[in-house]
Chains A and B, each alone.
Chain A
Amino acid sequence: MSTAPGLRRNRAPSLPCRISLVGALLIFLGVPALQAQDQLADPKPVPVIIGGSGFITTFDGGEPHLGPLIAPVLLVPIGDRWLIESRATFEADLTQQPGSSAFHGQVLKSVDYVQLDFIANPYLTVTVGRFLTPFGIFNERFYPIWVRNLMTDPLILPIGIGPSQASTGAMVRGGFKATSRFNINYAAYFSALSTVTLSNVTPLDSDRVAGGRVGIFIPNARVEIGGSFEHLLQDERSNSFGFHGGWQPPALPLELRGEYQRSARGSGYWIEPAYRLNQVPFWQYAMRRTQLVARMQQYFVGRLPSDSLPSVNTRQFEFGVNYYFRDGLRAVSSYGRQFSDMGNKNVWTIGLTYRFAFPLGHGDEN
């Protein structure tokens, strides 16, 4: 049971270390409590379930796939500064088996993330648990079925986000006004290696990585640019990086988004313009509900193999038309052409998406 003095010196927390930890705790827990007193009274939050559902039919190289999906997000606020959030996804990829006209497939269930957020102060939020990896912007912000303009994933989506699109560990993030002209937002995270697999749910695995993302948002011009970096702390210990950008010109109903990402397993980019036909002078009732979308993307194979990325260099162009019936309900359709050494193919999609939200309590009372 005795410990060598040298080893004991290394293991015992030193005085500076203790002071630093106490100082950090005081900063995170003490000061914000004082700042919170200045804030105006906001409505008391109530637990909410919000999410998206849809039914997408895809013709991938002529093969039909039926894809029903529902992804509820549970939000449980605790006090003024805590939030528990979790998203589950239930989806199926139903295909026709040879010689049969019926569609068959399994329902895939997954818990995408379960995280606890602590809003430490106006500039810092601490998150622990399983969270969507903040590498690039698509995985965190554009992935939900009711948010995305095109139903297919970008080819480079798997880069940097881990084996099941999430990380297991801790993250600090936030956004603040740097000057009167622009805001800065950031996220820094550490993920531990996880090989957890529940019996009837998709794996909850994650890589051991450390990374971060930083961005600038200029509200008046509605321009956002930023970059991501990640270092893999296992296997080949490689680095990944990427850049993202977005622009919604205030005078036009136009959105322009794009990302470039590079890693040892592959690299590529996508650019996605979307235009709402608000300004068309005829058939205004229908036109202002109609959105035209396109996405150009290209993928280049890296020096290391990957299960989730294409195995050959690939180019893809997609064009889509979306129609918004009312808030949260829309019809989506798109046509895409993929070019690669494996053969060229067409990808058609058509479907409906719906965003739902309801409170788990009295939403109206203050």
Chain B
Amino acid sequence: MKFKRNILACLSVVILGGVLCAAGQEQARVVDSKVSSTSSDAAPSSTLSSSKAVHEGTYSRFEGEKRYRANCGRCHMAPHKFPPRMMATIVRHMRVRATITDEDMHFILRYMTE
């Protein structure tokens, strides 16, 4: 019985890991396809590409601030910005402590280190 239980436990771990990784790869593919479709839509002129960069920067800042307020505000007052390398450590810590998603963590880190 114990032997069977061990096998079942191992298989459960593998299945869980597989499902999570598959979900992760699927998510990454969706993000990649969105990025590539946005890139292909862009016109070759430098004016359009620079306006696209400004738009992406604005979007990133907007999303970063939104996610920063939503996630950090769940527990405490939003802190001031710290130096970039320090912020990278603190955000990694908070990702583990507050189970922040990977996507949110990157948006928040980019926003906090701008």
Contacts and interface: CB of A to CB of B under 8 A. Distances in A.
Contacts of A328: 79
Main secondary structure of the interface of B (DSSP, over half): helix
Contact of B84 (A176, A327, A366): A366
Contacts, number: 176
Nearest to B112: A43
Contacts of B67: 219
Main secondary structure of the interface of A (DSSP, over half): mixed
Given A123-B23, A124-B17, A147-B75, A44 B99 contact: no
B92 interface: yes
B70 interface: yes
Given A176-B23, A328-B79, A48 B103 contact: no
Contact of A364 (B11, B27, B73, B85): B85
A245 B12 CA distance: 30
Contacts of A173: 96, 99
B87 A43 contact: yes
| Chain A interface residue bracket vs B | 35 or more
B79 A45 contact: no
B3 to A, nearest CB: 6
B106 interface: yes
B6 A45 contact: no
A125 B96 contact: yes
Contact of B113 (A43, A127, A248): A43
Contacts of A147: 75-76
Most B CB contacts (10 A, CB to CB) among A46, A142, A224, A246 go to A46
A38 B109 CA distance: 16
Given A23-B18, A50-B90, 12 more contacts: A17-B7, A17-B10, A20-B14, A21-B10, A27-B17, A44-B88, A45-B86, A46-B86, A77-B88, A175-B99, A219-B71, A365-B85
Nearest 6 pairs of A and B residues by beta carbon:
A363-B83, A122-B102, A20-B10, A185-B99, A175-B99, A45-B88
Interface of A: 10, 14, 16-17, 20-21, 23-24, 27-28, 31-32, 35, 38-40, 42-48, 50, 73, 75, 77, 83, 85, 117, 119, 121-125, 127, 140-142, 146-147, 173-177, 183, 185-187, 215, 217, 219, 222, 224, 246, 248, 255, 324, 327-328, 355, 357-359, 361-366
